């Protein structure tokens, strides 16, 4: 049997994110991964902070100065929001793990609650921290 | 152990033995479970962490060390560091396995991920122990 010449056609690509219309659930799913990645990098800041504290007053002074500055406070504020968003996103996954929250309305509600809840929690934490200090 | 042979049809191992070997990936649902256990632990631990960070704000060095030396604070931080670094290691591994397709680069990325998680964990744990036990002030 003669060898058949295979047609050179580009293999079909499976559709990826860019061809879909953005929805709340999709946005929050992507954002869960983005916030997780950001927190991954953020642990280095925690390590620097703790190591500076262990190193002595001079090193700690620099780190404390940075986190007390406008830029440092902004970093901490965004950090808080990202942490709260990832935490609520994780709770959403727990609800799904137990088999609840899969209806269309519930999915959309949970996705919105993740974003709105993360903003409310962040503002609440900073308000409490500023009032109680 | 995973059964990684090309042809698994000719084998003396029973299907049950293969299943006990946890399938093609070699570690079955272990990561799935660990990710959820650490997630459940992270939520209260990180809320405690936020309280500690807020209490640390504007403290001069001796008082900062004193707060960090408190056993409850040190223990909470140690638990948080362990749980968080385990959680982030698995999370980043999933991201790498989803997006890095070249075999060599994937191996390097997975190694770097493990190294980063270990460095962060060890640096934090050493610092916490030194601050709480080292009599720095």
Please name the residues in contact with B16: beta carbons below 8 A apart, sequence gap of 6 or more: none
On the question of pLDDT at A102 being above 70, the answer is yes
Please tell me whether residue A12 adopts helix, strand or coil conformation.
coil
* CB < 8 Å to B61, chain A: 57, 60-61
Is A94 in Cβ contact with B40 (below 8 Å)? yes
DSSP letters spanning chain B: -----S--SS-SS-HHHHHHTTTTTSSTTHHHHHHHHHHHHHHHHHHHHHHHHHHHTT--HHHHHHHHHSHHHHHHHHHHHHHHHHHHHHHHHHHHHHH--SHHHHHHHHHHHHHHHHHHHHHHHHHHHHHHHS---
Encode burial over A74-111: b for 16+ CB neighbours within 10 A, e otherwise: eebeebbbbbbbbbbbbbbbeeeeeeebeeeeebeebb
Residue in B with minimal Cα distance to A51: B127
Provide the 10 A C-beta neighbour count for residue B93: 17
Radius of gyration of chain A from its Cα atoms, rounded to whole angstroms? 23
Tens-place pLDDT, residues B100-134: 999 999 999 999 999 999 999 999 999 999 999 98
- Residue B94's pLDDT is what? 94
Contact A4, A61 (CB under 8 A): no
Closest CA to A39 of A93, A91, A92, A75: A75
On the question of pLDDT at A120 being above 90, the answer is yes
* CB < 8 Å to A132, chain B: 54
> Cα B130 to the chain's mean position, in Å?
21
Is A37 in Cβ contact with B123 (below 8 Å)? no
* CB < 8 Å to B40, chain A: 94
Q: How many CB pairs below 8 Å do chains A and B form together?
A: 81
Tokens of residue B34, six digits: 């660990």
Is A90 in Cβ contact with B95 (below 8 Å)? no
Q: How confident is the model at residue A99 (pLDDT cuts 50, 70, 90)?
A: very high
Is A50 in Cβ contact with B127 (below 8 Å)? yes
Provide the 10 A C-beta neighbour count for residue A13: 6
> Which of B43, B85, B124 lies at the smallest CB-CB distance from A87?
B43
B85 touches chain A (CB under 8 A): yes
Is A43 in Cβ contact with B85 (below 8 Å)? yes
- Residue A82's pLDDT is what? 98
ipTM confidence: 0.85
Rounded Cα–Cα distance for residues B33 and B90 (Å): 11
Q: How confident is the model at residue B1 (pLDDT cuts 50, 70, 90)?
A: very low
Minimal Cα–Cα distance from B118 to chain A, Å?
11
């Amino acid at each position: 049997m003669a060898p058949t010449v295979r047609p050179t056609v580009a293999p079909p690509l499976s559709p990826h994110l860019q061809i879909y219309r953005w929805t709340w659930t999709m946005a929050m799913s992507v954002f869960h991964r983005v916030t997780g990645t950001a927190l991954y990098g953020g642990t280095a800041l925690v390590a620097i902070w703790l190591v500076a504290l262990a190193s002595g007053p001079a090193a700690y002074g620099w780190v404390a100065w940075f986190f007390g500055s406008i830029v440092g406070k902004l970093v901490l504020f965004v950090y808080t929001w990202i942490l709260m968003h990832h935490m609520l996103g994780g709770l959403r996954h727990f609800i799904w793990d137990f088999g609840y929250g899969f209806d269309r309305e519930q999915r959309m509600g949970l996705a919105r609650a993740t974003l709105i809840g993360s903003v409310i929690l962040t503002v609440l934490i900073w308000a409490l921290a500023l009032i109680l200090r | 152990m995973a059964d990684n042979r090309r042809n698994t049809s000719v084998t003396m191992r029973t299907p049950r033995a293969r299943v006990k070997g946890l399938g093609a990936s070699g570690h079955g649902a272990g990561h799935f479970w660990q990710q959820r256990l650490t997630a459940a632990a992270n939520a209260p631990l990180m809320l405690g962490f936020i309280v500690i960070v807020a209490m640390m704000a504007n403290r001069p060095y001796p008082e900062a060390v004193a707060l960090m030396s408190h056993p409850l604070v040190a223990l909470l931080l140690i638990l948080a560091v362990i749980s968080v670094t385990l959680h982030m290691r698995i999370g980043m591994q999933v991201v790498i396995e989803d997006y890095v397709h070249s075999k060599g680069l994937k191996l390097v990325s997975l190694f770097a991920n493990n190294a980063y998680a270990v460095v962060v964990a060890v640096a934090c744990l050493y610092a916490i122990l030194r601050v709480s036990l080292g009599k720095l002030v």
